């Protein structure tokens, strides 16, 4: 199974070959990936994607000198890419939370009660303009107090999709507030002329 350079041509039973790859390596690759990710579902998804990619590129399979080394290296690289993407997403999420908190602090400390009412109205309007899924996830998180895992289970989406929707919602709300702030500053400037 490790030396597969002789595989190729029209007489190959690809289904049998990939069943053999699956039986031989799948469990070991999942354990290996889980060592990087500490999450069984993510590990299984990465292993499945690596095997799927191998299937999609089966016309080049005879170029692989050592199947085991190829599969383990591919899984390792995919795990490292996954970790890198998640760290970047966490950074964006953290930044969005900080910006929203700063916006909230600025709003509450520098305004009169009637200004607060206007900003609450503006926030509600901004939420209503969000894409449907972002709006739904944000309301479940912030208004209903559900945890991200609970939202993912209820909506039957991944935890990453929940986090991405919340981050996107905050980014869009912040942009909406900035746009309104710029508009109000322009209106005041026009008024002074």
92 close to 35: Cβ distance less than 8 angstroms: no
Same domain (yes/no): 52, 117:
no
Q: Average per-residue pLDDT in the chain?
A: 79
Let me know if residue 154 belongs to a domain: yes
Let me know if residue 140 belongs to a domain: yes
Position 31 scores a pLDDT of 92
Q: What is the pLDDT of residues 130-162, one digit of tens each?
A: 899 988 988 888 888 888 888 989 999 988 888
Number of domains in the chain: 2
Same domain (yes/no): 122, 182:
yes
Same domain (yes/no): 146, 76:
no
Q: What is the distance between the alpha carbons of residues 79 and 184, in angstroms, rounded to a whole number? A: 47
The range of the structural domain enclosing residue 163 comes to: 111-192
Q: What is the distance between the alpha carbons of residues 9 and 76, in angstroms, rounded to a whole number? A: 30
Let me know if residue 141 belongs to a domain: yes
- Kindly tell me if the per-residue pLDDT of 114 is higher than 60: no
Domain end: 83, 98, 119, which one?
A: 83
- Kindly tell me if the per-residue pLDDT of 115 is higher than 90: no
Position 4 scores a pLDDT of 47
Q: What percent of the chain has pLDDT over 90?
A: 16
Same domain (yes/no): 115, 159:
yes
- pLDDT band for 15, please (50, 70, 90 cuts): confident
Same domain (yes/no): 65, 22:
yes
Q: Provide the 10 A C-beta neighbour count for residue 138.
A: 20
Same domain (yes/no): 188, 118:
yes
- Kindly tell me if the per-residue pLDDT of 78 is higher than 70: yes
Same domain (yes/no): 79, 119:
no
Position 121 scores a pLDDT of 79
3-state SS, the chain, equals CCCCCCCCCCCCCHHHHHHHHHHHHHHHHHHHHHHHHCCHHHHHHHHHHHHHHHHHCHHHHHHCCCHHHHHHHHHHHHHHHHHHHHHHHHHHHHHHHHHHHHHHHHHHHCCCHHHHHHHHHHHHHHHHCCCHHHHHHHHHHHHCCCCHHHHHHHHCCCHHHHHHHHHHHHHHHHHHHHHHHHHHHHHHHHHHC
- pLDDT band for 37, please (50, 70, 90 cuts): confident
Same domain (yes/no): 126, 78:
no
Same domain (yes/no): 132, 183:
yes
Let me know if residue 169 belongs to a domain: yes
List the CATH number of the domain containing 127. Answer: 1.10.10.10
Let me know if residue 103 belongs to a domain: no
Q: What is the pLDDT of residues 41-62, one digit of tens each?
A: 889 999 999 999 998 888 888 8
- pLDDT band for 183, please (50, 70, 90 cuts): confident
Domain end: 66, 83, 100, which one?
A: 83
Q: What is the distance between the alpha carbons of residues 161 and 149, in angstroms, rounded to a whole number? A: 11
- pLDDT average, residue stretch 76-104: 75
Q: What is the distance between the alpha carbons of residues 145 and 151, in angstroms, rounded to a whole number? A: 10
Domain end: 63, 83, 103, which one?
A: 83
Let me know if residue 33 belongs to a domain: yes
- Kindly tell me if the per-residue pLDDT of 184 is higher than 80: no
Same domain (yes/no): 74, 132:
no
- pLDDT average, residue stretch 75-91: 82
Same domain (yes/no): 180, 127:
yes
- pLDDT band for 191, please (50, 70, 90 cuts): very low
Closest CA to 96 of 174, 162, 161: 174
More confident residue, 97 or 70: 70
Let me know if residue 1 belongs to a domain: no
Let me know if residue 158 belongs to a domain: yes
Q: Provide the 10 A C-beta neighbour count for residue 67.
A: 19
Q: What is the distance between the alpha carbons of residues 126 and 3, in angstroms, rounded to a whole number? A: 59
């Amino acid at each position: 199974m490790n030396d597969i350079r002789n595989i190729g041509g029209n007489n190959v039973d690809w289904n049998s070959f990939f069943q053999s790859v699956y039986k031989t390596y799948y469990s070991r690759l999942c354990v290996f990936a889980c060592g990087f990710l500490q999450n069984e579902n993510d590990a299984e998804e990465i292993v499945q994607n690596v095997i799927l990619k191998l299937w999609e590129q089966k016309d080049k399979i005879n170029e692989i000198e050592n199947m085991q080394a190829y599969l383990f290296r591919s899984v390792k690289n995919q795990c490292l890419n996954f970790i890198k993407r998640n760290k970047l997403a966490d950074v964006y999420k953290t930044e969005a939370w900080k910006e929203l908190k700063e916006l909230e602090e600025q709003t509450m400390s520098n305004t009169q009660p009637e200004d607060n009412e206007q900003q609450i109205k503006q926030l509600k309007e901004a939420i209503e303009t969000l894409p449907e899924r972002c709006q739904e996830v944000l309301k479940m998180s912030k208004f209903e107090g559900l945890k991200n895992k609970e939202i993912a289970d209820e909506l039957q989406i991944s935890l990453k999709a929940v986090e991405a929707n919340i981050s996107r919602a905050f980014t869009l709300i912040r942009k909406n507030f900035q746009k309104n702030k710029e508009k109000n500053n322009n209106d005041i400037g026009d008024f002074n002329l």
